[in-house]
Amino acid sequence: MSDISKKVSAFEKRYAVEQVGEVTYIGDGIAKVVGLTDVMSGELVIFNNGTKGMAQNLETEQVGVIIFGKYDDIHVGDLVRQTGRILEVPVGDGMIGRVVNALGEPIDGLGQIKSDRTRPVEHAAPGIMDRQSVCESLATGQKAIDSLVPIGKGQRELIIGDRKTGKTSIAVDTILNQKGKDVICIYVAIGQKESSVRSLIEVFRQHGALDYTLVVSAGASEPSPMLYIAPYAATAIGEEFMHSGRDVLIVYDDLSKQAAAYREISLLLRRPPGREAYPGDVFYLHSRLLERSAKLSDALGGGSLTALPIVETQAGDISAYIPTNVISITDGQIFLQSDLFFAGVRPAISAGLSVSRVGGAAQIKAMKKVSGTLRIDLASFRELESFAQFGSDLDEATQQKLNRGKRTVDILKQGVHQPLAVEYQVAILFALSHGALDDIPIDRIADYERRLFDFLDAQHPELLTEIRQTGDLPDEETFFNAIYDFNEQFV
């Protein structure tokens, strides 16, 4: 009898209360659910078939849920479980070199990702006192950007322009240029064709960039909730590296498609439309994403997350709703002009409309010295060029400015997927600013540039080494004499 008494006294009532809801509507990546009275905004819910969803609209009678993944086999009447958690993605070194979807699940056929850590997709941005000023250069390998609109670690620099003007190429070349520089890169493809993403992955593979790059893809064929959540998931993966004291570069390609996906979700959830049918919180959509990019204070490890968001314009209109929103959040923009692109000036960067609000703080001293007046010279050349076509009689000074301007435009041209080390950029811009190219025919500029680099590598490697190691110009007289010696033998 005593054994029975012991067992009775040791008996514990164990039960768990689980709140479940019922699907009343399903379609277009959206579900309406009744019965989830205690669900929180942004809470993760699980459908009968294991598909994940997130509570988005909390109404009196029902909850609007966005569905992450396929919803073909979810039906009216299916049960939905609360989890009490928010959406999380796996993070860590195991993600590098992989291609994942918006939920951090591998889609490259290379098996499961080894990761024992997760981070919430939505996370508060670092506070004011947790940051420090952007002061370290993040070289893109592109002369036109590193000299005119320099980018620093922790900066948000918008790449904006019409369709097919080279926006993605600039971002991809920046990733390729990080090889061997201990920068982890994340490329987020939002609403792009699967074939385009596949081609980009192949470019990364050919250049050895997959050793430090991961790709997050939410393709054009996926439901809009996947396009909406992809940038936040990618940022969470990047934040893990940033908080461990590492430097991260993240490319959002592009935020126009994310805004369109969010508009679609909001209209399906019957939220009131505002300007251009976007919901009222479309500004917050991008501000809470881009504010997560920062250069952390030394007390927090000094890691950085640099963002290159891409926005597509229509007919060059940068005053449209989404472009102006993102311009106001970022620390500058690189504006690509269609007419320059079609005229063969590539990258087609508009010197007048492009700006870096971090400025010279993100440049090494050598680059600052050789590119000081480059923007003004380029702008005045464009102005003179438009006037010069109306008259033939030009004074010598004007003619000299036009000649220098033409050579400046030609020097800033660069082939795709051919990033250039900063010491070579400094060398050719030094030659330009000191008049070494003034007598070189325009059609021989590219040949001059290539042979100058070969000459410096062979005859004066110490000059290039000094720029690379100290970040400052070598003795200017010695540098000029070396370039003059090359000019003497260039025929």
Catalytic positions are 357
In the block, tokens 């997560």 appear at 292
SS (H, E, C) 112-165: CCCCCEEEECCCCCCCHHHECCCCCECCCCCHHHHHHCCCECCCECEEEECCCC
Q: How far apart are CA 446 and CA 452, in angstroms?
A: 10
Q: Are strands 158-161 and 332-336 parallel, antiparallel or unpaired?
A: parallel
Bridge partners for 232 per DSSP: none
Closest CA to 486 of 441, 456, 445: 456
Please say whether the beta carbons of 32 and 53 come within 8 A: no
Helix (H) or strand (E) holding 311: strand 304-312
What is the C-alpha separation between 457 and 411, in angstroms, rounded? 19
Contact 277, 236 (CB under 8 A): no
The answer to whether 141 and 419 are in contact (CB under 8 A) is yes
